[in-house]
Structure 1
């Protein structure tokens, strides 16, 4: 989170805020992102970040997207950090330790990041539709 707060102030952060690792809905489905979304939505994980919740139609989508970006990049930074730690443990202890660490890392850092990317794409479409409705898009 500390590294993320430093990155927010850079120009590079704008590039990071529009990351899309997996654009295909089918691939997201095949890797089990839907199941992961269900777990987050229906278990105690739902209480972790209340800032990225759409409560009603008056919710500021730009602010929600910003909070999603912060969460996504924080998880990516944590994922990369733990990858190096898992590699170290694989070399110093055993491959089994590194493998177990990586499984937990994927579930606790990579999947949340991918889920945030999917939700950001949905919010972008929603924001585009709202802007289009405000400006009477497609009509003269």
Structure 2
């Protein structure tokens, strides 16, 4: 019950913050698109941290067409990864979630890919709704910042999680396999 109240509170605070953003900045231009994305990232991160889902859905499993990440590489995921290194995001992320070669650390990292993906999916759809609204009420040109930043700040992070997760899962399987062989010896 406490969790439901807390999740509801997070949703209401998010709505209030977005309403204030719309009221004080308006829905047009770069500033609104930028601030909207970061307000939503803060709120959705709080929501997913509170939710603590098990993420057992088949959605999070690698699909046949995703094998070895070739589709993501064709969509420029490696360029996006280089951009993350260039802006310092990768360094901050590794500091907060260090990569270690053990089951606990890799399991936690794999969980975080699911959590991050869910968050970016939620934000993607909210920002997309704003972009559609701005297109209808104002013009397509006025929604370009919303659309552009939605791709950079949400679509590519979703693709990155889907690209990285199978690699983490393979590393986990290798460690489990090695530990199984050591226990059997």
- Number of the residue aligned with 1:87: 132
**Aligned length in residues:** 136
What does 1:1-140 correspond to in 2, within 5 Å?
Answer: 1=44, 2-5=46-49, 7-9=51-53, 13-15=55-57, 18=60, 20=62, 23-24=66-67, 25-49=69-93, 50-54=95-99, 56-58=100-102, 60-136=105-181
Q: Secondary structure at the match of 1:113?
A: helix
Q: CA deviation at 1:41?
A: 2.3
Residues 135 and 143, structure 2, Cα contact 8 Å, conserved in 1: yes
- Number of the residue aligned with 2:11: none
Q: Relative to structure 2, which stretch is displaced further, 111-120 or 18-27?
A: 18-27
Q: CA deviation at 1:43?
A: 2.2
Q: State the alpha-carbon separation in 2 of the partners of residues 19 and 85 from structure 1.
A: 30
* Alignment TM-score, normalising by the size of structure 2: 0.62
Residues 4 and 77, structure 1, Cα contact 8 Å, conserved in 2: no
Runs of 4 or more above 4 Å deviation = 19-22
1:109–1:68 Cα change, 3 Å: same
Which 5+ residue runs of structure 2 have no aligned equivalent? 1-43
| Higher fraction of helix | 2
Q: Secondary structure at the match of 1:128?
A: helix
Q: State the alpha-carbon separation in 1 of the partners of residues 144 and 58 from structure 2.
A: 27
1:16–1:34 Cα change, 3 Å: same
1:36–1:88 Cα change, 3 Å: same
Bigger Rg, which one: 2
